[in-house]
Structure 1
Amino acid sequence: MIRIKAGVPRRTRPRTRARRPLRRALALGLPTVWGAIAITYKLTCPLAQQNSLGARIVTSAVFFAVGTGLIVQVRRSLLRELRQIRQIAGAAQNALLRPLPPRLDGLNIAAAQLSAERGAVVGGDLYEVIATEHGVRVVMGDVRGHGISAIGTVAAVLGSFREAAHDEPDLEGVLRRLERALARHLRERARAEHPASGGLDPDSPVAEEFVTVLLLEIGRDGEVRGLNCGHPWPYLLSGERVEPLARADPLPPLGPFPLPTELPFVCCGQLLPGEAVFFYTDGAEDARDTRGRFFPLRDALTAAVAQHPLPTPQSVLGSVFTALLRHAGGTPTDDVAILILSNDRRPAWPTSGARGTARQATTAQHPTNYPQHNGV
């Protein structure tokens, strides 16, 4: 089915159709002309029939020019097709992991992703921020593996989150929707790769796939709630302090084990005006230098916050990514995704001393009873 892009005048389409046969004719015609010139010279030119050294040099020069022209023409055609393929791939990747707005419901946003697959923009990491009637909802995840092979799973999880974030009144419902979407995707993938099995074989490599998922909800009053399945907790940037947003043990990742019957959320206190939350995937902490040392993410965050008088999400993101690439000596071996949200809303409560009081009170009211799990 051909889909017409909205806003494109209809009168421009026949011109585009008329240009395609002309381009094809030129693409085939120029090599044909070059070949015809070479054959005509060889058959009709008297100089080409002579065996003297000068005649051979001239004949070689003519065929060299013809061959060079053919190579240049083929190279131009291949580069043109490569540019078109990259444009199509870039549009598809942007539709999958679409660029986030710089500001959403009073929150400033900065995000970046680096794929370990050369030439790819999207890898096995995923993130999304959506403003809903229930608050701003955030997902950060990491698919097992990296690069292009993980894109299918990323699409399944992100597509489910973009619907569930608006439909489900609480984070528990969103997480269960993600679990069902992942299970369907893995079953369909198993049937496609092994039609004879008829389903998801426990011994199949597909059955070992998993996704770490972190769900966060930021209310209008700055109240932060979260559900974590095997993902690193984000950092809270408060002034020059860098500390984990929560310390509760996460649930196992989605995929290998079913979710428990009860999913108690973790209340992370309030995100006060001027504070920020730094999300990341484990590729940031696992990046190594030439000596095998891991990237000191928390130290890099502390330095990024300290070197800017008024740090913004964009400045912190640039500083951390620069330090990460310098540490890894170029592109890391694993996908890396970073997302920063800062509260730029007007303060509606006293900020002096509110951080510690609010965090202690909410932690006492909502104790966590997650099973022990060290993540992945």
Structure 2
Amino acid sequence: MIRIGTFTGPSARPRRSPLRRVLTLGLPTAWGATAWGATAITYKLACPLAQQNGLGARIASSAVFFVVGTGLVFHVRRTLLRELRRARTVAGVAQSALLRPPPPRVAGLRVAAAQLSADPDAAIGGDLYEAVGTEHGVRVVMGDARGHGLAAVGTAAAVLGSFREVVHDGTDLADVLRRLERALARHLAGRARDGTAGEEFVTVLLLEIGADGELRALNCGHPWPHRITDTGVEPLARTDPLPPLGLLPLPEKLPVEHHGHLLPGEALLLHTDGAEDARDPRGRFFPFHATVTEATAPRPLCPQVILGRILTALLHHTQGVPTDDVALLMLSSDSAARGAGPATSAASQRGATDHDGAALDQVPT
């Protein structure tokens, strides 16, 4: 649930009590009901036909009252639908401001995003993502707040708002992650004072893609993204991530992991666990890896088309009723300027190393 604070100043609107909001909503309906009721009473008292007891007079009176009742019902329905459309418009604007669509290109990378909320009344849920071009390279965040739907929106907003504020100032990913942890701690402390806090945490994946395509990452409990190459689809890494933010304090040292380079023609697909954990009515998991492999087989890669194929397959698998929020973010490199030069082979570019400098075993799945 998003809470909007009360602002002061010449343009501020005073906060109305729930009773006043109900009265404001019901006033147009009451005026309409009064008008229709006055029409029925006038007919009953002033029309000579209404005073007669014959069969024809009774039929005519029944028809008049049927028309009056029908008109009243349609008036109330029209008024409520108008207020519902207005409320959904306001909610849609607020939700799109929080989880705004990324630009089609960020510093030479093609970017596309898609998301589904498990709450049918919400356009977004607890998933968060953002891709920003900075002087350090393209910095990306993908996260998932505990829970789903509107209950997780506030926590996701705290982390995403902090990322947008510090992404340009953080000297490295470790600095950005520590600032996100402090922002989440402040948010949870405020929830505790309000008596609305529970066991809350957020999984966070931070990526940094340098101008030469070098990949750097920090992962706090989030699924690793998939690297899409000419030879297939494989996880970016297989190392165990750090604990989610808010669950345990971050360790004193946060070594950033290096995972080779993102070469021209390659792409990264980031996702939340709602995509991998989606089940059909028989309890079978969604074949995420196989679906991604099939969706990315046609070349050249088009991020928007690929995400559409994956979401279509996921909705078909769950019969249109996902039980958890789902977010997908795809970054595709189609600029030769992002490569490291023709003298460097793709295999050497993708020779990922962990934070100790040891080579990671990247066996294709």
Which residue of the other structure, out of 135, 138, 148, is the alignment partner of 1:136?
A: 138
Q: CA deviation at 1:272?
A: 0.4
SS in 2 for 1:66: helix
Asked whether the 8 Å contact 1:144–1:210 carries over to 2, the reply is: yes
Asked whether the 8 Å contact 2:125–2:153 carries over to 1, the reply is: yes
Q: State the partner residue of 2:327.
A: 337
TM-score, with normalisation over the residues of structure 1?
A: 0.85
Give the Cα separation in 2 of the matches to 1:228 and 1:361. 15
The reply to whether residue 98 of structure 1 matches residue 100 of structure 2 is yes
Give the Cα separation in 2 of the matches to 1:48 and 1:182. 70
* One-letter amino acid of the structure 2 residue matched with residue 293 of structure 1: R
Residue ranges of structure 2 left out of the alignment (5+ in a row): 1-6, 12-25, 361-365
Give the Cα separation in 2 of the matches to 1:31 and 1:82. 19
Which residue of the other structure, out of 242, 250, 270, is the alignment partner of 1:251?
A: 242
Which residue of the other structure, out of 117, 120, 125, is the alignment partner of 1:118?
A: 120
Q: State the partner residue of 2:208.
A: 217
SS in 2 for 1:70: helix
Asked whether the 8 Å contact 1:111–1:317 carries over to 2, the reply is: yes
Give the Cα separation in 2 of the matches to 1:309 and 1:112. 20
Q: 1:235 to 1:367 in 2, by over 3 A?
A: same
Asked whether the 8 Å contact 2:215–2:259 carries over to 1, the reply is: yes
The reply to whether residue 323 of structure 1 matches residue 303 of structure 2 is no
Q: State the partner residue of 1:188.
A: 190
Q: CA deviation at 1:289?
A: 1.2
SS in 1 for 2:167: helix
Q: 1:69 to 1:88 in 2, by over 3 A?
A: same
CA deviation digits over 1:134-180, x for unaligned, max 9? 11100000111000000110110001000110111100011001111
CA deviation digits over 1:248-278, x for unaligned, max 9? 2100011121000000111011000110000
CA deviation digits over 1:174-219, x for unaligned, max 9? 100111111111110111126xxxxxxxxxx62x211100000001
Which residue of the other structure, out of 34, 39, 47, is the alignment partner of 2:36?
A: 34
Give the Cα separation in 2 of the matches to 1:138 and 1:221. 16
Q: State the partner residue of 1:373.
A: none
* One-letter amino acid of the structure 1 residue matched with residue 213 of structure 2: G
Show the 5 A alignment for 1:233-252: 233-252=224-243
* One-letter amino acid of the structure 1 residue matched with residue 128 of structure 2: L
Over the aligned positions, Cα root-mean-square deviation in angstroms equals 2.4
Q: CA deviation at 1:345?
A: 1.9
Asked whether the 8 Å contact 1:240–1:305 carries over to 2, the reply is: no
Give the Cα separation in 1 of the matches to 2:32 and 2:184. 51
Give the Cα separation in 1 of the matches to 2:271 and 2:247. 22
Which residue of the other structure, out of 282, 299, 312, is the alignment partner of 1:291?
A: 282
Report the structure, 1 or 2, having the larger helix content.
1
Give the Cα separation in 1 of the matches to 2:245 and 2:31. 56
SS in 1 for 2:111: strand
Q: CA deviation at 1:35?
A: 1.9
Identity, % of aligned positions? 61
Aligned length: 340
The reply to whether residue 87 of structure 1 matches residue 78 of structure 2 is no
Deviates more, 1:87-96 or 1:240-249: 240-249
Q: CA deviation at 1:4?
A: 11
Q: State the partner residue of 1:267.
A: 258
SS in 1 for 2:281: coil
Asked whether the 8 Å contact 1:269–1:363 carries over to 2, the reply is: no
TM-score, with normalisation over the residues of structure 2?
A: 0.87
Q: 1:353 to 1:102 in 2, by over 3 A?
A: same
Q: CA deviation at 1:74?
A: 1.1
SS in 2 for 1:169: coil
Give the Cα separation in 2 of the matches to 1:353 and 1:52. 100
SS in 1 for 2:153: helix
Q: CA deviation at 1:34?
A: 2.1
* One-letter amino acid of the structure 1 residue matched with residue 244 of structure 2: P
SS in 2 for 1:129: strand
CA deviation digits over 1:11-39, x for unaligned, max 9? xxxxxxxxxxxxx9986654433222111
* One-letter amino acid of the structure 2 residue matched with residue 73 of structure 1: H
Q: State the partner residue of 1:179.
A: 181
Show the 5 A alignment for 1:356-371: 356-360=347-351, 362-363=353-354, 366-367=357-358
Asked whether the 8 Å contact 2:222–2:241 carries over to 1, the reply is: yes
Residue ranges of structure 1 left out of the alignment (5+ in a row): 6-23, 195-204, 370-376
* One-letter amino acid of the structure 1 residue matched with residue 34 of structure 2: T
Give the Cα separation in 2 of the matches to 1:264 and 1:100. 28
Q: 1:93 to 1:221 in 2, by over 3 A?
A: same
SS in 2 for 1:89: helix
Q: 1:48 to 1:267 in 2, by over 3 A?
A: same
Q: 1:62 to 1:324 in 2, by over 3 A?
A: same
The reply to whether residue 313 of structure 1 matches residue 303 of structure 2 is yes
Q: 1:137 to 1:290 in 2, by over 3 A?
A: same
